[in-house]
Amino acid sequence: MSNVFDGYERQYCELSANLTKKCTAATALNGEQKKQKVSEVKAGVDEAEALIRKMDLEARSLQPNIRAALLAKLREYKSDLNNLKNEVKKIVSGNINPSARDELLESGMADALTASADQRTRLMTSTDRLNKTSDRVKDSRRTMLETEELGVSILHDLHSQRQALLHAHNTLHGVDDNIGKSKKILTNISRRMNRNKWIISGIVLVLVAAIALILYFKLSK
């Protein structure tokens, strides 16, 4: 249903019950008091018509399945309002004899009591529906807050993981630099070892050649 329509409906029900009571009271009055009461009823009828127009606009803006139920309810309200207008016309015309006035008072009181009971039932139903809607809104708000907290927690975890990855990346970058430096050092050591090996080999060859020459000259004498 529509919370907007329910609000208009609640206002109309209260207004309708009040107008019914005023019509019943106006039949027992005379002179200026009667005119004043009738004027109040007419003003209330105008207000009721405005509420019905608002309900009609709201109902027609809703989904088809909801709109059909609300428009059926509106037809009942329009019928009630037409009956109320007819009662006002009878009161204004003054064509009511004493016996008819008494009968109208009795029927009016009965109708007022019935209308009041119906309005109370409708109001209770509307209030119950509003309470359920309010509970659903609270549940949705609580779920939204829980989801928001979960989202914040996830973002915090992702931030922590990002920091950890950046730290690991920096660490790996440092390790790569150290490995590069170590590789250069090992390469230099390897080159020096090869150079030393060639130098030692050259020295050994020179010594061998010198010894061979010495032996040759000794043996040749």
Written as tens digits, the pLDDT of the chain (221 aa) is: 578 888 998 999 999 888 888 888 888 778 888 888 888 888 989 999 999 999 999 989 888 888 888 888 899 999 988 998 888 888 877 644 455 455 544 555 455 445 555 655 665 665 566 557 556 757 767 887 888 888 788 888 888 888 888 888 888 777 778 888 888 898 889 888 988 889 998 999 999 988 988 888 888 86
**Residue 59, number of CB atoms within 10 A of its CB:** 21
CB 31 within 8 A of CB 84: no
CB 75 within 8 A of CB 49: no
Say which amino acid occupies 171. T
Note the pLDDT of residue 113.
45
Q: Which two tokens stand for residue 150?
A: 């979960």
d(CA 14, CA 122): 10
* DSSP state, residue 62: S
Note the pLDDT of residue 124.
61
Q: What is the largest CA-CA distance in the chain?
A: 179
Note the pLDDT of residue 182.
82
Cα angle 191, 193, 196 (rounded to 5 degrees) comes to 110
Cα angle 120, 126, 129 (rounded to 5 degrees) comes to 140
Note the pLDDT of residue 111.
54
CA atoms within 13 A on the CB side of 219: 6
Handedness of CA 62, 64, 68, 71 (dihedral sign): positive
Note the pLDDT of residue 97.
47
